[in-house]
Structure 1
Amino acid sequence: MNSSSLPARPVYTQVTHAVARAADMATQAYGQGTFSVGGTLLDPLGNELKAIHNNVVVNGLTHDPTAHGERQLIDWYYAQLAQGITLPPPAEMTIVTSLDPCCMCTGAILAAGFKVVSGAFDDFAGINYNRQASFPSLSPGLRRQAQTRYAYPAVTGSARGFARPATGTALSAPFAAGQTVDQADVALCQALFQATVNQVKNTINTDLAADQLHDPATLPADDPLILALKAIDPAALTYRAPARGLPDAGLAPHLQAAARVDLTQGGSGNAVALLDPFGNLLLCMPGHEHVSPLQTAFMRLTRSYAALREQLINNPAIGAEKTRRYLGHPKHGTWVFAKGPDDSARSLMELGAFGSTMEGAVPSENPVPLQYVVPGMSPTALTAWCQQLPPFYSRCVVVNPLQVQSQALIAAMTPTL
């Protein structure tokens, strides 16, 4: 099979029309009640292969915290390859998005190798938050890649705040016939996002505080909630940390087993565990990077936990009240990586996805929600890098991974990683 097997799609040879298409998808996101961002994936001739919008929120619930338009487009691309459809390599493809990509999507884009054209700026979470296309959040190697792949085309018009010169890399095919974007298209992209960002956050901010949560380990073994949890990970609730945020060597076998699977499935041997505020192991997962470079352990785990909560909330036999009482918002949990972040695109994607999963500031009673066992880079360099992330991550969520305190856990994991 080849790309001709895909349904007929529009063709874009002017960038303003492609940005308008992204804005149209953002409008559909607005109608769904999710963050109003949209995008389209174009082949080298400007043929639209797929258009999609943000799907973080569905029916007023967090459906998938990673379901940004760009991430979905990239996973769609790899899903087509898995079905035997021949598509051009990522370096020849262009993602046109209504809003500057966040850290998660930038990590995904750079890891896969796509080109990007952005409509509106995002001064809070966008990778180009300083609007200079200097990408201070990226390591030198990733910065060079972004500067050759990210385009912010000139915007025509006289309206203050929207007209701009071109920055980033020069536009290439398929946009030879039109190199500029009309200010009305950019203004629409910006307005749509601003119209929903706070509204959506308020809609989904219905979870309980940590002191209102109940321990799921107190439920009977045959409780439907427990059975649903164990259907994802049979080892759920078989480990309990001695205190909140303090995993010990008892977690090592779970991380080791998942890391071994990760290696066989195209990953680097990483694994991620989620502990609840009571110290219970909820889920521990490997990645599926043989399917897509975006399917890392953390990406799978955060999506799986969100899907589980959505499923249980919508299950009449369990419902929202019980689900929220026993399976709290992930911002109350402790996420433990077998291997810590490095300065790769994959780690940027995961740190960005962690920020999206938190959906805002982490509660003060959970000071170390993101931990790792074996470092991927020096702690000093990691802290400095996180402090350079866009404001949403560095100042709101305050992404700051720290090594676990348990020397026994570190000693148990180090030889295997």
Structure 2
Amino acid sequence: MAHKKTIDVQAAVAIAAAEAIAAKTQGTFGVGGLMLDQHGNVLQSLHNNVVKDGLIFDPTAHGERQLIDWYYAERAKGRELPAPQDITIVTSLDPCCMCSGAILAGGFNVVVAAPDKNAGINYDNSASFRALPQALRAQAADSFSYPAILGSSQYARASSGAAPKSFFIGKTIAEPTQALCSLVFEATSSDVMNMFDTDPSQDQLQDPATLPADHSVVRALKQMYPDALTYRAKPHQPDAGLAPFLRQAMARDREHGGAGDAVALLDSYGNLLLCMSGRMSQSGIRSAFMEATRSYAQLRYKLMNGATPQQQDEIRHYLGHPKDGTFVFAQGPDAGAVSFMNLGAYGSTMEGPLPLKNPAQLQYVLPSLPEDELAALCAAMPPLYRSVIRIRPTQVADRALIAALQ
């Protein structure tokens, strides 16, 4: 898609819509997007890749997030690209919390076609960005554009948010293109969300610590994270024994340009499956949580892709959905863009209600915000996050673990 030029919002949204159709054909969320420079040159276009080959591939592989990582990767290779404030991402669907956090963390501009009343950052169509932490709202108002849709159908709207960049000569979207963006997403949304629900329930899961060392599941875990299965807590109750693994990843996170965060994933038995640092020097949005959730999803994908239904079933029983385990952050969420991206990516990883028996799925060791402020931040998120998934980060109960990281 490179070398194309588009100086018209309608033409740009048409490219995003074509990508969304390709996503639908792939069997994933029907969303697409592209990245333009300040002259309207198409730098890259791509679509959602959450699902590949009928399997969850990467819950964070939304179009905007992938475009931003592509941008950082190209710059790291030495390619001269404009600064983020001179780049516009055009997306077929209102960005979710993960992608909004990523866009704001990088400082990009965005032009949005279709609304998303469940997970979109502008879910109430007010362009007030009340779903964002207070400190990020003005930045969003200056960089998120919702161009007018001309016509008289349910898809018509007045323009709101920021004005699209000046290189766009035409600044409106045609009704049929807007309708296409909405319908392609609606046609895929429930089917893909149901795919997140095909895992065995917690009481059916098997303990990977009982497998022999040469079992494919154990080998894959150790290849991804050599210390996998070397620590075990009581289910959902991380204790001070986790501290050395978190501290090691926190040090690595600082080496990789981060602020010293780390994220561990414990399974429903309390086994340590992985503990990841971020790679912020490679890309400003590769946080420890993004690395952790992606690594686990792609481990499962690699083991299941091409396997027989019986083999896939066995893998699902030993490597359950993370909602039945516990994500443990070294540092709790703050009110910044990367933390908001992490909370959104956590929502995309859960993609449905948390199990009633595991409400404290997301735990942190060191608080970055007072508990009431963090609760208020989560309560303001769009309906999917606050009402369906019910995101509520809680501090670990073990005082010795907190002391060990202080």
Kindly indicate whether the alpha-carbon contact (under 8 Å) linking 2:149 and 2:175 is maintained by their aligned counterparts in 1.
yes
Structure 1 residue 150 and structure 2 residue 141: aligned?
no
Structure 1 residue 313 and structure 2 residue 307: aligned?
no
Alignment of 1:200-349 (within 5 A): 200-241=192-233, 243-314=234-305, 316=307, 319-349=311-341
Kindly indicate whether the alpha-carbon contact (under 8 Å) linking 1:338 and 1:373 is maintained by their aligned counterparts in 2.
yes
* Cα offset, 1:138, TM superposition: 1.4
Structure 1 residue 163 and structure 2 residue 156: aligned?
yes
Residue 335 of structure 1: SS of its match in structure 2?
strand
* Cα offset, 1:284, TM superposition: 0.3
Name structure 2 gaps, 5 residues minimum.
none
Distance in 1, Cα, partners of 2:191 & 2:313: 22
Residue 401 of structure 2: SS of its match in structure 1?
helix
Residue 284 of structure 2: SS of its match in structure 1?
coil
Distance in 2, Cα, partners of 1:130 & 1:267: 34
Q: Deviations over 1:19-41 (max 9, x none)?
A: 11111100000100100000010
Distance in 1, Cα, partners of 2:92 & 2:252: 37
Q: Which amino acid aligns with 2:361?
A: P
* Shift in alpha-carbon separation, 1:355–1:53, aligned structure 2, 3 A: same
Kindly indicate whether the alpha-carbon contact (under 8 Å) linking 1:154 and 1:167 is maintained by their aligned counterparts in 2.
yes
Corresponding residue of 1:13: 7
Distance in 1, Cα, partners of 2:198 & 2:165: 45
Structure 1 residue 71 and structure 2 residue 65: aligned?
yes
Aligned-residue sequence identity (percent) comes to 54
Distance in 1, Cα, partners of 2:92 & 2:343: 22
Distance in 2, Cα, partners of 1:248 & 1:205: 29
Give the one of 128, 139, 161 matched to 2:133: 139
Corresponding residue of 1:23: 17
Distance in 1, Cα, partners of 2:307 & 2:17: 37
Residue 389 of structure 1: SS of its match in structure 2?
coil
- Structure-1-length-normalised TM-score: 0.95
User: Where do 4+ consecutive residues of structure 1 move more than 6 Å?
Assistant: none
Residue 372 of structure 1: SS of its match in structure 2?
strand
Kindly indicate whether the alpha-carbon contact (under 8 Å) linking 2:90 and 2:112 is maintained by their aligned counterparts in 1.
yes
Distance in 2, Cα, partners of 1:244 & 1:8: 49
Q: Which amino acid aligns with 1:170?
A: A
Distance in 2, Cα, partners of 1:400 & 1:140: 19
* Cα offset, 1:10, TM superposition: 1.6
Kindly indicate whether the alpha-carbon contact (under 8 Å) linking 1:207 and 1:324 is maintained by their aligned counterparts in 2.
yes
Q: Which amino acid aligns with 1:246?
A: Q
Name structure 1 gaps, 5 residues minimum.
1-6
Q: Which moved more, 1:136-145 or 1:345-354?
A: 136-145
Q: Deviations over 1:4-54 (max 9, x none)?
A: xxx742211110111111111000001001000000100001010100000
* Cα offset, 1:141, TM superposition: 2.0
* Cα offset, 1:204, TM superposition: 4.4
Residue 239 of structure 1: SS of its match in structure 2?
coil
* Cα offset, 1:206, TM superposition: 1.6
Q: Which amino acid aligns with 1:149?
A: S
Q: Deviations over 1:103-159 (max 9, x none)?
A: 000000000010000001101000001101101111222101000000000110111
* Cα offset, 1:319, TM superposition: 2.5
Residue 120 of structure 2: SS of its match in structure 1?
coil
Give the one of 375, 379, 386 matched to 2:371: 379
Q: Which moved more, 1:56-65 or 1:166-175?
A: 166-175
Give the one of 189, 198, 201 matched to 1:197: 189
Structure 1 residue 115 and structure 2 residue 109: aligned?
yes
* Shift in alpha-carbon separation, 1:235–1:8, aligned structure 2, 3 A: closer
Q: Deviations over 1:248-268 (max 9, x none)?
A: 100000000000010010000
Structure 1 residue 399 and structure 2 residue 394: aligned?
no
Q: Which amino acid aligns with 2:366?
A: V
Corresponding residue of 1:48: 42
Q: Which amino acid aligns with 1:328?
A: G
Distance in 2, Cα, partners of 1:357 & 1:382: 20
Distance in 1, Cα, partners of 2:261 & 2:355: 27
Distance in 2, Cα, partners of 1:231 & 1:237: 12
Residue 212 of structure 2: SS of its match in structure 1?
coil
* Cα offset, 1:74, TM superposition: 0.3
Distance in 1, Cα, partners of 2:316 & 2:2: 44
Residue 222 of structure 1: SS of its match in structure 2?
coil
Distance in 2, Cα, partners of 1:44 & 1:74: 16
Q: Which amino acid aligns with 2:103?
A: I
User: How many positions carry a matched residue from both structures?
Assistant: 405
Corresponding residue of 2:124: 130
Kindly indicate whether the alpha-carbon contact (under 8 Å) linking 2:196 and 2:351 is maintained by their aligned counterparts in 1.
no
Residue 337 of structure 1: SS of its match in structure 2?
strand
RMSD: 1.1
Kindly indicate whether the alpha-carbon contact (under 8 Å) linking 1:61 and 1:204 is maintained by their aligned counterparts in 2.
no
Corresponding residue of 1:357: 349
